[in-house]
Amino acid sequence: MTDRSEQPSMTFEEFRRSFYYGSRTDLRFKFLASLPDDAAADAVARILRTVGQACDTGDWDAVQDAVIAEQDAAYGPADPVEATVADAPFAPVRQPLPELPLALITAGGVFRRGDDPLGPDGPSQQEVLGREHVKRALSGPPSLSEISVDTPPAELTARHPGYDATSAHRDPNAVFPLDVLREVAETGGVSLASTHYGFVGATAQGRLRDRVAPEWAQRLLEAKVGAALLVAT
């Protein structure tokens, strides 16, 4: 058994910061790093309280609700966005949806297995949680993965340094609802473009706004896309 008295002590600040690309990296709880000690302690206590109650009641939805509430409170509306936006362009839809080929675009890092944007030996989700990978994702240009409309969900995977993409491994529809849109299309509610797209939203936002997004928009226009549904994570 480990003699705990020989281990260096850890402050609560070190503990909460360790969830943010540290020794306990967990992107569901990385928000703890941004909170003051008191607020983080209260958040942990509230979540643990619901876990304890769920052990008795079986109400695990309450645990999920508690985590959502803490994430929501931590990220809040006060944080300014990195790239300011001068205007809000708006194109009213003047045709029935089935006449506008719809493209799905996710910022959740979804791509087809066998078409890894980082090459055939691309890193795993766990591997991109290292600080070097995070830095590289934020500094390098994003790439747009193409996903054919008939791609089965089992052929999809995801990798992202900003959220826990293992959820998307279990069900890509959580951030890339292609199955959902195919359901709607089957009943004629929408017409789907032949190609859909994924990229990693954790990237330099100014470059995305000024250079990359206009290029991608041109690609969509050339593909005769009539409308786009963008899913953030």
Chain contacts with other proteins (rule: CB under 8 A)? 27-28, 64, 67-68, 71-72, 75, 77, 79-81, 85, 87-93, 97, 102, 108, 160, 163-165, 167-168, 170-171, 173-177, 179-181, 183-184, 189-190, 227, 229-233
CB of 3 to other proteins, least distance (A): 38
Q: By C-beta, is 191 or 195 nearer to other proteins?
A: 191
Q: By C-beta, is 195 or 205 nearer to other proteins?
A: 205
Q: Which amino acid is at 46?
A: R
Q: By C-beta, is 22 or 177 nearer to other proteins?
A: 177
CB of 170 to other proteins, least distance (A): 5
Q: By C-beta, is 145 or 164 nearer to other proteins?
A: 164
Q: How far is the C-alpha of 34 from the C-alpha of 75, rounded, in Å?
A: 9
Q: How far is the C-alpha of 87 from the C-alpha of 230, rounded, in Å?
A: 18
Count of residues in the chain: 233
- In sequence order, which ranges of 158-224 are alpha helices (DSSP H)? 166-170, 178-186, 205-207, 213-222
Greatest CA separation for the chain? 71
Residues 6+ apart with CB under 8 A from 136: none
Which of 86, 83, 199 lies closest to 147 in space, CA to CA?
Answer: 199
CB of 192 to other proteins, least distance (A): 11
CB of 202 to other proteins, least distance (A): 12
CB of 38 to other proteins, least distance (A): 23
- The answer to whether 145 and 199 have CB atoms below 8 angstroms apart is yes
Which of 69, 51, 47 lies closest to 60 in space, CA to CA?
Answer: 51
Cα dihedral 149, 153, 156, 161, rounded to 10, equals 110
Q: By C-beta, is 39 or 97 nearer to other proteins?
A: 97
> Count of alpha carbons within 13 Å of 65, Cβ hemisphere only?
7
Q: How far is the C-alpha of 122 from the C-alpha of 114, rounded, in Å?
A: 10
CB of 174 to other proteins, least distance (A): 5
Q: By C-beta, is 89 or 119 nearer to other proteins?
A: 89
CB of 108 to other proteins, least distance (A): 7
Q: By C-beta, is 14 or 171 nearer to other proteins?
A: 171
Provide the 8-state DSSP code for 32.
Answer: G
